[in-house]
Structure 1
Amino acid sequence: MSLEKRPLTLTINGKKIGPVEVPLDMPMIDFLHEYLNLTGTRFGCGQGVCHACTVMEVHPDGALSETRTCVFSAHYFNNKSITTIEGQAKYDPQGNLESLSPVQQAFIDHFSFQCGYCAPGFVAGATVFIEGLKRQPVKRANLESAIEEALNEHICRCTGYVRYYEAVKEVALATPGCVKD
């Protein structure tokens, strides 16, 4: 890793961070873990293939996209806004959990994990998918194939895909405006 550092400023889970002096080539996942103690995002393959390290990038218009943190340096996120798995739940002012996001709750309700290692990346991908459906709904008959396409690149070594997809389908069907007949 480079010894050269540069200031980094970004928004994570709704909180402005920085400027913080960060090595130029530090991967974002290492910044999350080592600088902020946000350890829910998982390091999997280190090549951006498995998507375990996925977080949500929040664009200025409110749209979300998936971004992998093992292949992008922390500085790639300079002046950007991201949400990690920790930022999806709602907390009271004292930091106590108030509620999980609909996707997080559905994953628990469907026991959509075995070892749980890939779950944060799947939750991020599923949340991006659901938010996208709110902007561009899918026909009910095409929902299952849309889920499969949206989450296709996420790898679960325990093969928990059926439960992941069932949970996402439940959220899509329960969220007004996501599915059209």
Structure 2
Amino acid sequence: MSAANIKISMTINGEAVGPIEVPETLMMLDFLHEYVNLTGTRLGCGQGVCRACVVILDRDNSHSEEIRTCITGVGYFNGRKVRTVEGHATRDGEGAVTALTAVQQKFLDFYSFQCGYCTPGFVNAATVLVERLQRQPIARDQVESYVTDALNDHICRCTGYVRYHQAVKDVILNTPGLIIEERS
């Protein structure tokens, strides 16, 4: 017996996708790789634990969140807005990268990866945190705990955690409006 098909449409990295008919049991990770040729999202554990597979789901209320794509069916994303790691950098008309986001640049500056396999998940987690702080800045003394909370569930097999944390803290501390400056 074969699985039933569903038609889905969504916005990925600002581009309308669909309607496309897919098996209703298809995971979002497989959809990204096999149907839209976006392979930056990585399959790590296949159980939603390592978070190498996270994408950003943009809610209508201007809030964003990480969603694990190896355990979330593509149907969940029907009608929604999604950002993958390929959607962060600014590109020219031919698709060449012209500017990185602050998160991406700091990850390079701090050499925050070794093999790079988990990096897309960390980029998305840090991006969600930065966007949250743009709406709700925090005190300087809270930066460490917020970064830890945001990155804590992500697994890096090469143990690059220190550099990921340093890069994200640097983004937060050097981006105006993300922290509340104490007044004397």
Task: Give the secondary-structure state (helix, strand or coil) at the position aligned to 2:126.
Answer: helix
What is aligned with 1:62?
62
What is aligned with 1:20?
20
1:175, 1:62 → 2: CA distance? Answer: 19
Contact 1:2–1:24 (8 Å) recurs in 2 = no
Task: Give the secondary-structure state (helix, strand or coil) at the position aligned to 1:113.
Answer: coil
CA deviations over 1:129-176 (Å, ceiling 9, x no partner): 011011111110110111001111011111101100111011111211
What is aligned with 2:171?
171
Structure 1: unaligned runs, 5 residues or longer: none
1:110, 1:81 → 2: CA distance? Answer: 30
Contact 1:7–1:22 (8 Å) recurs in 2 = yes
Contact 1:28–1:72 (8 Å) recurs in 2 = yes
Please, what TM-score do these two structures have when normalized by structure 2?
0.95
Paired residues, number: 181
What is aligned with 1:142?
142
What is aligned with 1:8?
8
Structure 2: unaligned runs, 5 residues or longer: none
Listed as ranges, the matches of 1:32-181 within 5 Å are 32-181=32-181
CA gap 1:2/1:131 in 2 versus in 1, 3 angstroms: farther
Please, what TM-score do these two structures have when normalized by structure 1?
0.97
2:141, 2:97 → 1: CA distance? Answer: 36
1:180, 1:165 → 2: CA distance? Answer: 20
Moved over 3 A (4+): none
CA deviations over 1:44-65 (Å, ceiling 9, x no partner): 1111111100111111122211
Identity percentage over the alignment? 54
Task: Give the secondary-structure state (helix, strand or coil) at the position aligned to 2:35.
Answer: helix
RMSD of aligned residue pairs (Cα, Å): 1.2
2:117, 2:177 → 1: CA distance? Answer: 31
CA gap 1:139/1:9 in 2 versus in 1, 3 angstroms: same
CA gap 1:146/1:2 in 2 versus in 1, 3 angstroms: farther
2:102, 2:146 → 1: CA distance? Answer: 19
CA deviations over 1:97-143 (Å, ceiling 9, x no partner): 11111111110110000110100000000000011011111110110
